């Protein structure tokens, strides 16, 4: 078990590193980049200006140096060892590149270098700012677009709350609904109840999330507005955001909602929570159902019945506990979502959470934010997988790792 | 329906009477799944309509109707020059019926290409990995596991954001983009961007086929008949292509059908988020993206691309379900 764990953790580290390298490379080798637009808009930009801009985006450094600074925050300058500065004359980048004379397009080709950046110049050209210790040490650099020159971690901190709120409520609800529905469907297999929820979960697996979300908005926010003169008691839900700016009416039989009040927040939560719960609950109830059906065919369930136990005891104590074993892994794998949120749902409902932040970062090319999100999500997913596997051995002693 | 029978036909090498009847058995079992049959018919109608798109509608894909009384305009609007817009016009004044049909072409082409490439690629790799085992298997399985572990949607989004924001067009042989532009009835430049999206979707598409075929190859390669084939001098390639792959075809067909639905949803999600197919190439996803901005005044607008999207996605799921029941009753849920 210990050696298995050590091996797994080692593999885990490798997976995360690979994921980071993969994503980092992808946008460093693909053409374009932060300067493409500037070069295109201002054709008469001087070489000096360009060099300054390149420095601003760390583009003057070679990519391995940049990558290392992004990942672990070194080198910040010459390495000091026993009072002596090492590697101070190593070129780590190019301040003033020579462009190919006749090249045009988004990115002129660099053919040489007039002025190298040396290791000793690093502290001066790229003075250590806040949050520059590298992502492996928990620093994600500065945001470039969404909130200028503020650390990405500040941005993440401001978004984590709404995401945890949204995701924890919907995860809890899907568990509270999905598990009992699964059990009851299995116990009453082929009943009307079973068929109904089979259909519901089928819809859940085939329906696109964003269209379902749009349908909810149509049903609860758009149509009630059209009906306001004829059927004024139909409630109108706010179609997005986390709370309102000004007070509004939901329905004639409800008092005016004050912005920022608990009731206001509750109303804003309803639809996104509904969407997420629906899409979690559907596969979960199916899983519990099929797992229950399998367990109920086992000999020990028959034995339990033969002993004359109440059916309730047979189902809830003997069958359910075994049926939930594989379910544990699935629930654990949903936990990274608590951080990552739901990109599509948060976007449709303009929920100010992590998923929405990621979407904005992609739309507005704030790559540090996007990379931080990807990195943390990958990390959490890998950890969740490991926890899931370990839990599996705890709840089911028959499984041994080798 | 005949399409289903035909795809199963060659794989079971229908020549003698018993084999022929097996195809018929599968066909009959499939017919018993009422929803699958209905879906198949509906999907055939949508395929047909999208294939005949230029014949069915008289409006060009991107033509802006300046004589439309309003934009967006509801279904059945008659513009001042007397032509009717069956499903109305969008915010720019383009005929929505036309765009939905062309969007069907785009979405279906992407889905079929992605599934075709990834199932072929995945099952071949899986067969090789399972058959040879050892280091090949280890490396391929690790890659597969790695891809399964990392969160899919964020990675897909960032890749397409990077490639799209920078307008990357991958180098590709001319016939690929010409073929695709003929399929999509779109200019070659748009077709080239679609190729990029197809490749992005294949990146995660091959995983299930790989695992299915690998498992199949792993059990089969340990069986005596494979040993006998080797002794009789069959080459590895022959064993893989004639004996292992045909055995795994049934589950691959089922997973392909389910994947078609999943890829359609994924593509439309990417396009909906503005990180997939871009306007003016229509897909149901990017049409829904535009509809979102106007739905408060024009609530019918999201339904126009949304309903075909749901029908197609559900249809492929039902057909996959029906195929599973028909091909392998043991797998019945």
What's the pLDDT tens digit per position in B102-130? 999 999 999 999 999 999 999 999 999 99
pLDDT at A16: 79
Q: Is residue A14 part of a domain?
A: no
- Separate counts of helices (H) and strands (E) for chain A: 18, 4
Q: Label residue B167 by pLDDT band (50, 70, 90).
A: low
As a whole number of angstroms, the distance between CA B333 and CA B329 comes to: 9
Residue of A39, A215, A333, A362 to mutate for B, most B C-beta atoms under 10 A: A362
| Domain ranges (residues) in chain B | 100-327
pLDDT at B331: 52
Report CA torsion sign: A338, A340, A346, A351: positive
As a whole number of angstroms, the distance between CA B247 and CA B223 comes to: 13
DSSP string computed for A259-312 = TTSHHHHHHHHHHHHHHHHHHHHHHHHHHHHHHHHHHHTSHHHHHHHHTT--HH
Q: Is residue A331 part of a domain?
A: yes
List all residues of chain B from 271 to 310 with a beta carbon under 8 Å from chain A: 272-275, 288, 291-292, 295-296, 299, 302-303, 306, 309-310
Q: Which of A117, A135, A134 is nearest to A126 (CA)?
A: A117
Q: Is residue A56 part of a domain?
A: yes
Q: Do the chains contact at A343 and B153, CB–CB below 8 Å? A: yes
Which position has the token pair 């399985």?
B141
List all residues of chain B from 244 to 273 with a beta carbon under 8 Å from chain A: 261, 265, 268-269, 272-273
As a whole number of angstroms, the distance between CA A212 and CA A278 comes to: 10
pLDDT at A289: 92
Q: Is residue A359 part of a domain?
A: yes
As a whole number of angstroms, the distance between CA B145 and CA B143 comes to: 5
Whether residues A166 and A124 fall in one domain: no
Query: What are B26-49's pLDDT values in tens digits?
Result: 888 888 888 889 999 999 999 999
The model's pTM? 0.86
pLDDT at A178: 93
pLDDT at B333: 44
pLDDT at B189: 81
Q: Is residue A238 part of a domain?
A: yes
Q: Chain A contact for B135, CB < 8 A?
A: no
As a whole number of angstroms, the distance between CA A86 and CA A124 comes to: 17
pLDDT at A40: 56
B95: three-class secondary structure by DSSP = strand
Query: What are B201-258's pLDDT values in tens digits?
Result: 999 999 999 999 998 888 888 888 888 988 888 888 888 888 888 888 888 888 899 8
Residue B263 has pLDDT above 90, yes or no: yes
Contacts of B168 (CB under 8 A, 6+ apart): A30, A31, A32, B162, B196
* pLDDT winner (highest mean) among A13-22, A258-267, B4-13, B158-167: A258-267
Q: Chain A contact for B155, CB < 8 A?
A: yes
Burial of B16 (0-12, 13-18, 19+ CB in 10 A): exposed
* Domain region containing A124: 44-78+88-139
Cis peptide before B280 (omega within 30 of 0): yes
Q: Which of A275, A315, A284 is nearest to A179 (CA)?
A: A284
Interface predicted TM-score (ipTM) of this complex, two decimals: 0.86
DSSP string computed for B9-43 = HHHTT--SHHHHHHHHHHHHHHHH-HHHHHHHHHH
Q: Which two tokens stand for residue A279?
A: 């899409």
Whether residues A194 and A342 fall in one domain: yes
- How many folded domains does chain A comprise? 2
Pick out chain A residues at pLDDT < 70: 27-45, 100-109, 130-131, 399-402
As a whole number of angstroms, the distance between CA A327 and CA A284 comes to: 8
Max CA separation in chain B (angstroms): 79
Q: Do the chains contact at A214 and B295, CB–CB below 8 Å? A: yes
Distance from the A80 Cα atom to the nearest Cα atom in chain B, whole angstroms: 38
Query: What are A90-149's pLDDT values in tens digits?
Result: 788 888 777 766 555 555 667 777 788 887 777 777 777 766 777 777 788 888 788 877
Whether residues A221 and A315 fall in one domain: yes
Of B167, B269, B302, the CB nearest to A218: B302
Contacts of A218 (CB under 8 A, 6+ apart): B295, B299, B302, B303
Whether residues A112 and A184 fall in one domain: no
For B61-88, what is the mean pLDDT?
79
Q: Is residue A186 part of a domain?
A: yes
Q: Do the chains contact at B150 and A378, CB–CB below 8 Å? A: yes
Whether residues A124 and A273 fall in one domain: no
CATH number of B100-327: 1.10.3720.10
């Amino acid at each position: 078990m210990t050696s298995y764990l050590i091996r797994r953790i080692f593999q885990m580290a490798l997976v995360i590193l690979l994921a980071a390298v993969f994503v980092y490379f992808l946008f460093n080798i693909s053409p374009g980049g932060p300067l493409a637009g500037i070069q295109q808009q201002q054709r008469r930009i001087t070489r000096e200006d360009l060099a300054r801009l390149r420095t601003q985006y760390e583009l003057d450094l070679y990519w391995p140096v940049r990558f290392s600074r992004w990942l672990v925050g070194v080198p910040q300058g010459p390495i000091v060892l026993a009072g002596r500065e090492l590697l101070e004359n190593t070129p780590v980048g190019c301040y003033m590149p020579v462009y190919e004379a006749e090249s045009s397009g988004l990115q002129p080709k660099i053919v040489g270098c007039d002025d190298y950046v040396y290791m000793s110049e690093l502290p001066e050209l790229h003075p250590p700012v806040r949050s520059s210790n590298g992502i492996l040490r928990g620093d994600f650099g500065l945001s470039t677009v969404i909130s200028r020159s503020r650390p990405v971690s500040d941005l993440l901190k401001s978004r984590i709350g709404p995401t945890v709120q949204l995701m924890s409520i919907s995860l809890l609800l899907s568990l509270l609904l999905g598990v009992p529905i699964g059990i009851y469907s299995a116990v009453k297999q082929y009943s009307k109840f079973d068929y109904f929820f089979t259909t519901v979960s089928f819809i859940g697996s085939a329906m696109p999330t964003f269209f379902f979300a749009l349908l909810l908005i149509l049903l609860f926010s758009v149509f009630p507005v059209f009906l306001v003169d004829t059927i004024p008691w139909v409630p109108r839900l706010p179609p997005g955001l986390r709370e309102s700016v000004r007070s509004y009416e939901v329905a004639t039989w409800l008092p005016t909602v004050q912005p920022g009040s608990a009731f206001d927040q509750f109303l804003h939560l309803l639809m996104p929570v509904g969407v997420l719960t629906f899409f979690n609950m559907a596969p979960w109830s199916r899983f519990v159902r099929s797992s229950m059906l399998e367990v109920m065919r086992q000999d020990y369930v028959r034995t339990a019945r033969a002993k004359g136990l109440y059916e309730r005891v047979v189902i809830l104590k003997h069958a359910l506990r075994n049926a939930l074993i594989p379910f544990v892994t699935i629930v654990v794998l949903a936990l990274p979502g608590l951080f990552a949120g739901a990109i599509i749902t948060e976007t449709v409902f303009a929920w100010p959470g992590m998923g929405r932040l990621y979407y904005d970062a992609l739309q507005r090319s704030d790559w540090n934010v996007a990379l931080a999100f990807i990195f943390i999500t990958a990390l959490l997913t890998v950890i969740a997988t490991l926890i899931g596997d370990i839990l599996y051995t705890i709840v089911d002693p028959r499984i041994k790792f080798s | 329906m005949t399409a289903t029978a035909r795809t199963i036909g060659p794989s079971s090498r229908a020549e003698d009477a018993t084999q022929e009847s097996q195809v018929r058995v599968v066909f009959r079992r499939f017919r018993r799944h009422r929803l699958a049959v209905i879906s198949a018919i509906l999907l055939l109608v949508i395929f047909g309509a999208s294939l005949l798109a230029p014949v069915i509608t008289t409006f060009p894909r991107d033509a802006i109707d300046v004589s439309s009384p309003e934009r967006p305009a509801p279904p059945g609007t008659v513009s001042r020059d007397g032509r009717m817009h069956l499903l109305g016009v969008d915010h720019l004044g383009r005929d929505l019926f036309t765009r939905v049909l062309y969007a069907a072409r785009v979405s279906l082409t992407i889905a079929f290409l992605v599934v075709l490439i990834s199932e072929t690629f995945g099952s071949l790799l899986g067969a090789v990995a399972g058959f040879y085992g050892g280091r090949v298997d280890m490396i391929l399985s690790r890659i597969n596991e790695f891809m399964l572990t990392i969160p899919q949607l964020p990675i897909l989004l960032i890749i397409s954001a990077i490639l799209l924001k920078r307008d990357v067009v991958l180098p590709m042989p001319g016939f690929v983009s010409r073929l695709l532009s003929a399929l999509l009835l779109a200019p070659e430049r748009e077709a080239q961007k679609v190729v990029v999206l197809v490749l992005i979707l294949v990146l995660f598409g091959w995983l299930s086929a790989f695992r299915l075929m690998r498992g199949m190859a792993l059990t089969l390669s340990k069986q005596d008949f494979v040993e006998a084939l080797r002794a009789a001098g069959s080459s590895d390639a022959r064993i893989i292509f004639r004996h292992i792959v045909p055995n795994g075809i049934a589950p691959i067909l089922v997973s392909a059908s389910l994947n078609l639905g999943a890829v359609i949803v994924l593509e439309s999600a990417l396009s909906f988020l503005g990180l997939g197919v871009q306007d003016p190439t229509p897909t149901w996803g990017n049409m829904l993206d535009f509809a979102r901005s106007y739905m408060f005044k024009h609530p019918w607008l999201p339904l126009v691309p949304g309903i075909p999207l749901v029908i197609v996605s559900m249809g492929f799921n039902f057909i996959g379900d029906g195929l599973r029941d028909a091909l392998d009753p043991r797998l019945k849920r």
